[in-house]
Amino acid sequence: MSGVASSWRPIVRLAARGDGVSDDGRFVPLAAVGDSVDFSSNPPRIIAGPHHAAPACAHYPDCGGCQMQHMDEAAYRDFVIDRLSRVLALPADVRPIALSPPRSRRRASLKALKRSGKLVLGFHSEGTHALVDIADCPVLAPELMALLGPLRVLLRARLRDGQGAGIALTLSDAGVDVLLANVSAEGLAAIEALTNFADKHDLARLSVEGPGGIDTLVERRQPVLNMGGVAVPLPVAPFLQATREGEAALVAAVLESVGGAARVADLFCGLGTFALPLSQKAAVLAVDAAGPAVMALGATARSAGRRVEVQHRDLFRRPLVDKELAGLNAVVFDPPRAGAEAQAKALAASPVPVIVAVSCNPNSFGRDAKILVESGYRLTTLWPVAQFRWSSHVELVARFERQA
């Protein structure tokens, strides 16, 4: 910077967790690309550049849910692409980033703690056990946000001083599904309080989890989610994509990648996010270790007359191998954050012509992609998906073709 002391350094890129990185390699929290930092002060002083933005949330940066509200959307989109380019060579065909809008998150896990008669309800501060009491959250869907105030009242009355509780909220197509952990449902008064809460706030379902497991107290409507034109009954506190927009982007990318394949495997299938849309045109083998999800998918597919064969199987310990993969026109795999190294190695040894990887962790994806590429597959197309808005969490869909 002309005329400025040498203690000032420009921020030239972002680290994987969203910290700014200066041109001499120093990490600066809450700095955006284009900012300038004075390292002679303690803490370092930031002068905002053209991509610095006012946070959308009053709780930022104390709440650990978002790391990147201090930058504008253009800088955030650049971060997503840079995050991916650091773990793999990007193909020529990289599609536009699918970024979910504010107030679209349809599932959330929160904590509550009663202390000295007061109740704190919210998310943990990043890297600590301290709870940030949430007055408003600009990522949560309005239907979920509207329940936080009433839940405070309920839990303040139901918890003992010093007692904590867990809250899992899921917005289904039939309404909100609530799971409360460590909240007593023993005795008439407790049951009535919880039942009245569910009725007053029009919950689809209310369950409690204790030492003996999960007990559903109220089910006014079966929570369901539409997947590929089929209403899928949801188990309590299910895993599902964080936003409708994110799910739609992932499904569209998978369907385009598979094309007209007649026989497809969906590995780590869950409730059928991809299996059911694929089953509209293809015969699908759906495999996962999550028993309740696989059972729900199987029952739903049979009821809807879809060609989905389900298999309850731990793909980390027993990946599908070449004989089982023979005859498939395409394989979709969507593992958890750890990736699917064993399954990637089995796919690398297979003749499957098209492999579609869905990932929520660029690092483990980079490892699995390298296995496929080194065995003769070519990465042709990449779809970046950012459904955890303002977070460093990046998802993607990647299409691989077996080279002749």
Q: 3: pLDDT confidence band, cut at 50, 70 and 90? A: very low
Q: Which helix (H) or strand (E) holds 177?
A: strand 175-181
Distance of CA 292 to the CA centre of its chain: 19
**Mean per-residue pLDDT, 191-198:** 98
**Per-residue pLDDT reduced to its tens digit, 245-289:** 999 999 999 999 999 999 999 999 999 999 999 999 999 999 999
Edge-to-edge strand ranges of the sheet holding 45-47: 27-28, 20-22, 8-14, 36-38, 45-47
CATH domain 87-101+240-402 topology = Rossmann fold (3.40.50)
**Per-residue pLDDT reduced to its tens digit, 38-64:** 999 998 999 999 999 999 999 999 998
Question: Which residue of the set 57, 63, 137, 360 is catalytic?
Answer: 360
What confidence score (pLDDT) does residue 1 get?
45
What confidence score (pLDDT) does residue 128 get?
81
pLDDT, the chain, mean: 95
CATH domain 107-223 topology = OB fold (Dihydrolipoamide Acetyltransferase, E2P) (2.40.50)
390 pLDDT higher than 80: yes
Alpha-carbon distance of 362 to 136, in angstroms, equals 30
Q: Tell me if residue 360 is catalytic.
A: yes
Locate 153 and state its tokens.
């009242």
359 pLDDT higher than 70: yes
Domain ranges of the chain: 8-69, 87-101+240-402, 107-223
